Structure 1
Amino acid sequence: PDQMRLDKKYAKVLFIRNYPSFLNDRLIKSLTDIGIELAITIHANPYDISESIKKINNAEAQVKMDMIKSQKGAARDGITGDLAVSGVAKAIADEATKWKDEVEDRDQKIFSGVFCVMVKADSEEELIDYTNRIQQAGRKHVVEFEEVYYHQEEALNTMLPIGKTYLNVKSRFMRDMTTTNIATQIPFTNTDLQSDSPNAIYYGQNQISNNIITLDRQRDLNTASGVILGSSGSGKSVFTKTSEVIPTILRYPDDRVIVVDPEDEYSDIGRAFDAQLITISPGSPTHLNLMDLPDEDSLAAEDADPVGQKASLIMGLFENILKEVTDEDFSIIDRVTRLCYERITDRTPTLSDWHDILLEQPEDVAQQLALKSESYTKGSQNIFAHETNVDLTHQVVIFNLKQLDGKLKPFALMVVQDYIWNQVVNNQGKLTTRIYFDEMQNQFLTDDQAQFFTNLYARVRKYGAIPTGITQNVETLLARTEGRKLLANSEFIVLLKQKKTDIRLLAETINLTDALIRYIEKPKAKGTGLIVAGQTTVPFENPIPKHTELFRLVATDAYRTVESQAK
């Protein structure tokens, strides 16, 4: 009488038997928070307006006649005032007046409706537990859920999305409702993020609706570039690997994936996916030639002077590593760079060749510059003065910069960015280059770095690449105009747990309501927060089971330590 079997499952349908005087819009939220799979359906069939008014008028007339009879009988017995009319009759009269006002003055419709919930379980005991949890969720809102006794088959058919209420076989299942009563139970205010692209990536579940979140950044957004922001320990690294880097490698096998890895957090992924791992440090066997140029045929008109841009790069590098670079130095650098490419045509020149030509220049300033730069061209810091010996056309390329420190790190970052620019230009029209800049705050330590990086970020977008910046130091990013501009121009933003001071700064650039802020100020778990995609913002979660190979692959040492301490 109160349940059914569907294949090997036990199932039942419950309906709302008793409603409160006012039903708020949190009932469905409370039901979905239970954490079990439910099917919820609301049927509402409108009465004809004239029939509604006629029905209300009849009910009002009938109750008034009953009240008059009661008053006459009470008067004969010497009873007057409120005692002459029963409380039930008075309540019905008030209700009729209220419904009449709703229809005539507030343009409400009257519906015959029913609110049903269906649940399935693996055993009868589990079904009883689920039923109790549904009823408990209803009681929070003064709602009584009851089994549909002896009509479970009609109830099952009512749950089907075919728009027919089979449960209207008995009036006790149905309830008269107004438009407002119905509207408060339809979760129109809930926003979901689901792409219809066959190449969309799964980003987890919506914390409110529990629906999946999918997005194809390249197709669904006007600007595919993005940032991932989260304070230390927020689960930023795990999110980036499980929701971006690994899915991107698997979903887009024809595209290029490049990771700039300052802290050696992606090497495990690189080995698992046969990536080209490039360790940049003194004495490393893997080399990048700073003097490599992009394919000139692929350059846009405004970028058609690659040698001049290479000279600008070398100027910027020397500004970072030398105490002072004068205007005379800049002139010498520009001249020597052009001479280098003019003289050496049978192969790509190196920084060592560049130094040799520098020594040939007659000016004293050239000799001084040669002496100051010798450590980086011929000496122990000559990490970019060798011919390239790695496969830069590999699907996945990871730059490991962990062993660098001091002046070499910003120097290396700029060279790596130059390499990325060359690859983006060469790949234009052939494939999409997807670039991940971890520890992005390192790019904003000086004005020159910030300007160089943001220029690159904007230029690669023009060539069809998709850059993504990852950082825990939001304050460093937003402290500079370039950082704020980069964030404002990104349509894809992931926000994990943030410090209050950072939330204040973010709210000035991103439209965050108080209701959304709570998901990043006090998130429900590590690795949860908000995804902003264009005009849509949704709270997400994507837990990775600890016993899986995926978790072992992506968890950082610090993350594993926290988990083991928790155990």
Structure 2
Amino acid sequence: MSLFSFSNDKPKRQFLNIKSTKIPKSSQDTLAFIEAYENGIFRTAENTYSLIFKIDNIDYRLLRDPEQNNIYRFYQQYLNALPSEVCYQEFLMNIPKNSSKLRKAMIPEYSPKNKEEAEIFKSYTELQEYFIKESEKSSAEKKLIGVLSYTVEGKMDNAEVLLKYYIELQRNLQEMGSNARQLMTMEVFELLYSYYHPFTAENFFIPQKIASRGSSLKDYIAPSSFVFMPTDDYYKMGSAYSRIFYLSVYPNELADKFISDLLDNSYHICVSKHIVHVDKGDAMTLIKKEIFDVEEKIQKRMKDNHKDGTNFIPFKYREQSEELKNLQNQLSSNDTQLFEVSVLVGISAKTLEELDSLTTFVLGKAKNNQVVLKPASANQENAMNSLLPYGVNHLTSKSRSNVSTFLLSDAVGVLIPFSARTYFAENGLNYGLNDATGDVILLDRTEEMNSNGFILGTSGSGKSLFSKLETFETHFKHPKDYEIILVDPEKEYVPLADKLNAQVLKLRPNSPTKLNVFDTNINYIESDGDALTMKSEFIMTMVETAKGQVLTAAEKSMLDKCVKASYHEFMLHDGDEKYLPTLTTLYEILGEQKDTTATDLQKILELYVTGSFNNFAGHTNIESTSNRIIIDISDMGQQLRTVGLQVIFEYLWQRVRQNHQKGIRTVIINDEISSMFLDGNYYANIDSSGQFYQKIFKRIRKYGGYVTGITQNISQVLDSPQARTMLSNASFIVLLQQAEDDLERIKDLFKLSPTHLSCISSGKVGTGIIICGKKIIPFSKALPPVIIKTNALYKLCSTKFNE
């Protein structure tokens, strides 16, 4: 039983009847479907049913030649797998930019806390508006729709076989790096509405209880009217003018860019392909018959020539004979199949004059590809219904002799539908303009396998500006549900503190800022063990780093005993913070032991308890009043740094765990991350700060957080075993302009094509590629002079001396 029925029958469970007041040949009658079912299947003829699905685009034109050849080969296999009993259609449609949707995603509702922040938020909005306006100039968004159509033959047949075929096609698409999702009934209606109303600003809407209103679903989909004139090669659709062409002449060699050439613009253009896989047995029989017919004509002509005393055979007969025999030989191959193919192109404009101008444009694109397009004169209604994703070619059998042709797998494969993706994540951040499409790139890092990332670029490439703009956008879009912690080795982010409402923690010798290495939550349990065990392990690592040598078994045993003794009162009072131990507590307990091992350990800790580096000896005196924290380690010094980095990373991990319990995501941004791996302990077989950081990098995803490392020294990152592992496991990599000496290593690490390499070696500031999961996107976040001169946020984030 259908959910939406469009027949004159009135079964008890019928939802509505759209033909209760039938007006002969109304605009609703032109819509070429009879019924739509709740499972998304459409009945498009008496016994014909169609399943409609969305196909994900592939960044085909960004791939290098070998990769494009692989996609081309997979696409041929995809078509070869089509069952001969179904009709397959691909429908590509240019969708105009929805600026209001883009603006809603890019400009959050935010309430600045003071005048200074209000100025920065205004500047941020100006930047977002610039990218929205630039995106409006780009090509239209492209929808790629697939349709499977099946005609039921007899009582034993069943239209549900479409679902089986769809699953097989979906699996084949995944092998190409694409995917498919079946469209449900309302989604198909919305798609049809967007075609029938190309210039309306109104969104598709169907009210509830429309049957009681005396109206039907088709009333809300169809335009106000259709006007098809028998003598014209165009038609009117509401107030719009439209024209349908069919591909009448195929060149011997067609470029794979033909379809993208037609659609790579902002005009209202659609392309539709009807593809029927001809059974190989039927194909061979058909060809043999054709060969026999041609040979019979040749023999007859030779007989006639004998009477006339001539020996001439028309060239077209010999050519046809050779082509058919060649076709027969090619079809003998297992990988070659025969298809009946029709290609239709539809255009729409606001006026007839604009329609004619668009016609000239489209015919010019076709001519450049050696293709001949002809309007479906006097048959525009059937052509329109054949163009749209109903899965049925409605052109008459008489006209189809010109509209359709027979092509082999390789020729059909050239009509590849893929070009470049649009990246729009409603909750994503703005990463600039897609160099391939001109669209704004909105990516949500949290949708990837892990959100960890790196921003890599040589000095002056724009990485600081890129990372700071990402920080401010995260700040404005997630004021409460994200905590942002910036690790700042060079005071790069300290000047942003006031505008971010951030708290600055300054760590240096004799600094008043104190971090207690014994801070913990005793009730917290992980797979690695309880909180006390993990804290004991960390303090051993810290002492080992301070010693500069691997701890002996006796030293580890002594430390473990004394750490547990330090927590005795704290545990006795159920984790009351008044009894929380400190490094001083451990130092004193070690002094109470009558053992030389304890005495040696106490001497190792002396500098960090009673000496100049006592930042970690007392109770934490930081009241985290903000969920924006900048850790300034620019004046830490090398001696304090080796131990200090590990303490900082332990502090970060404690914050991640605390925020996870509160349902808050933790974002850690580490400037000049390459400097985190230079303590040298890795090569002394000591757990280095880099190894500790690597553990955080690996585990933070499970706790709803992610790390972004920023550096210009990619060679140092690649030379560090821990940093290289982190880089390989990151799902978000921004590669800005790179030093020439590093290009080969980068190419090998990320398996980049020559096209990708050209994006990171052009010398253009603020440009490069983004590697997000399996996606590789060329981008530009360069800003025009007017923004550079006047925008307060840009001036705050820029590190250029003259700005």
Give the TM-score taking structure 1 as reference length: 0.73
The worse-fitting range, judged by mean Cα deviation, of 357-366 and 62-71 is: 357-366
**Deviations, residues 442-474 of structure 1 (Å, cap 9, x unaligned):** 212223332332233335456554333333322
Alpha-carbon contact 1:299-1:425 (below 8 Å) kept: no
Alpha-carbon contact 2:590-2:602 (below 8 Å) kept: yes
* Cα distance change on mapping 1:417 and 1:557 into 2, 3 Å: same
Matching of residue 423 in structure 1 with residue 659 in structure 2 = no
CA distance in structure 2 between the partners assigned to 1:469 and 1:303 by the alignment: 28
* Cα distance change on mapping 1:245 and 1:556 into 2, 3 Å: closer
Alpha-carbon contact 1:110-1:177 (below 8 Å) kept: yes
Listed as ranges, the matches of 1:202-351 within 5 Å are 218=446, 220-221=448-449, 223-237=450-464, 239-240=466-467, 246-247=473-474, 250=477, 253-263=480-490, 274-280=500-506, 287-291=513-517, 293-300=519-526, 301=529, 304-305=532-533, 307-309=535-537, 311-312=539-540, 314-315=542-543, 318=546, 346=578
Identity of aligned residues (%): 23
CA distance in structure 1 between the partners assigned to 2:374 and 2:795 by the alignment: 46
Deviation of 1:293 (Å): 0.8
Deviation of 1:479 (Å): 0.4
Matched with 1:115 is 343
SS at match of 2:578: coil
* Cα distance change on mapping 1:225 and 1:373 into 2, 3 Å: same
The worse-fitting range, judged by mean Cα deviation, of 211-220 and 52-61 is: 211-220
Matched with 1:539 is 777
**From 79, 96, 104, the counterpart of 2:324:** 96
CA distance in structure 1 between the partners assigned to 2:378 and 2:629 by the alignment: 64
SS at match of 1:296: coil
* Cα distance change on mapping 1:145 and 1:360 into 2, 3 Å: farther
* Cα distance change on mapping 1:370 and 1:401 into 2, 3 Å: closer
**Deviations, residues 30-88 of structure 1 (Å, cap 9, x unaligned):** 445557675332122345656544543443333333333443454555544xxx12222
CA distance in structure 2 between the partners assigned to 1:373 and 1:125 by the alignment: 84
Deviation of 1:481 (Å): 1.6
CA distance in structure 2 between the partners assigned to 1:120 and 1:277 by the alignment: 57
Q: What is the letter of the counterpart of residue 61 of structure 1?
A: F
SS at match of 1:376: coil
Matching of residue 376 in structure 1 with residue 612 in structure 2 = yes
Deviation of 1:325 (Å): 12
CA distance in structure 1 between the partners assigned to 2:797 and 2:429 by the alignment: 26
Alpha-carbon contact 1:267-1:277 (below 8 Å) kept: no
Matching of residue 71 in structure 1 with residue 311 in structure 2 = no
* Cα distance change on mapping 1:135 and 1:337 into 2, 3 Å: farther
CA distance in structure 2 between the partners assigned to 1:508 and 1:19 by the alignment: 41
Alpha-carbon contact 2:254-2:414 (below 8 Å) kept: yes
CA distance in structure 2 between the partners assigned to 1:501 and 1:415 by the alignment: 35
CA distance in structure 1 between the partners assigned to 2:509 and 2:378 by the alignment: 80
Alpha-carbon contact 1:294-1:426 (below 8 Å) kept: no
* Cα distance change on mapping 1:444 and 1:178 into 2, 3 Å: same
CA distance in structure 2 between the partners assigned to 1:9 and 1:383 by the alignment: 73
The worse-fitting range, judged by mean Cα deviation, of 90-99 and 103-112 is: 103-112
Q: What is the letter of the counterpart of residue 675 of structure 2?
A: N
Matched with 1:158 is 386
CA distance in structure 1 between the partners assigned to 2:740 and 2:787 by the alignment: 34
Matched with 2:272 is 41
* Cα distance change on mapping 1:23 and 1:357 into 2, 3 Å: same
Matched with 2:127 is none
Matched with 2:725 is 485
* Cα distance change on mapping 1:303 and 1:358 into 2, 3 Å: closer
CA distance in structure 2 between the partners assigned to 1:525 and 1:184 by the alignment: 37
Matching of residue 18 in structure 1 with residue 249 in structure 2 = yes
* Cα distance change on mapping 1:248 and 1:62 into 2, 3 Å: farther
Matched with 2:190 is none
Q: What is the letter of the counterpart of residue 253 of structure 2?
A: F
CA distance in structure 1 between the partners assigned to 2:453 and 2:332 by the alignment: 52
Deviation of 1:278 (Å): 1.6
* Cα distance change on mapping 1:395 and 1:372 into 2, 3 Å: closer
Q: What is the letter of the counterpart of residue 160 of structure 1?
A: L
**From 293, 296, 313, the counterpart of 1:62:** 293
* Cα distance change on mapping 1:71 and 1:267 into 2, 3 Å: farther
Matching of residue 85 in structure 1 with residue 316 in structure 2 = no
* Cα distance change on mapping 1:118 and 1:554 into 2, 3 Å: farther
Aligned residue pairs, count: 546
CA distance in structure 1 between the partners assigned to 2:781 and 2:359 by the alignment: 26
CA distance in structure 2 between the partners assigned to 1:37 and 1:540 by the alignment: 26
**Deviations, residues 211-242 of structure 1 (Å, cap 9, x unaligned):** 99776655652x44343434444454455456
Alpha-carbon contact 1:230-1:496 (below 8 Å) kept: yes
SS at match of 2:523: helix
Alpha-carbon contact 1:201-1:251 (below 8 Å) kept: no
Q: What is the letter of the counterpart of residue 376 of structure 1?
A: S
CA distance in structure 2 between the partners assigned to 1:56 and 1:364 by the alignment: 93
Matching of residue 476 in structure 1 with residue 716 in structure 2 = yes
Q: What is the letter of the counterpart of residue 523 of structure 2?
A: D
Give the TM-score taking structure 2 as reference length: 0.55
Q: What is the letter of the counterpart of residue 716 of structure 2?
A: T
Alpha-carbon contact 2:274-2:341 (below 8 Å) kept: yes
Matched with 1:388 is 621
* Cα distance change on mapping 1:32 and 1:526 into 2, 3 Å: farther
The worse-fitting range, judged by mean Cα deviation, of 540-549 and 41-50 is: 540-549
Q: What is the letter of the counterpart of residue 325 of structure 2?
A: T
Matched with 1:175 is 405
CA distance in structure 2 between the partners assigned to 1:118 and 1:238 by the alignment: 44
Q: What is the letter of the counterpart of residue 257 of structure 2?
A: R
Deviation of 1:377 (Å): 4.3
Question: Cα RMSD (Å) of the superposition?
Answer: 5.1
Deviation of 1:475 (Å): 1.2
Q: What is the letter of the counterpart of residue 302 of structure 2?
A: Q
Q: Determine which structure has greater relative contact order: mean sequence separation of CA pairs < 8 Å that are 6+ residues apart, divided by chain length.
A: 1
Deviation of 1:295 (Å): 1.1
CA distance in structure 1 between the partners assigned to 2:241 and 2:645 by the alignment: 60
* Cα distance change on mapping 1:174 and 1:77 into 2, 3 Å: same
- Unaligned runs of 5+ residues in structure 1 are none
Matched with 2:767 is 527
Deviation of 1:179 (Å): 3.1
SS at match of 2:485: strand
Deviation of 1:538 (Å): 3.1
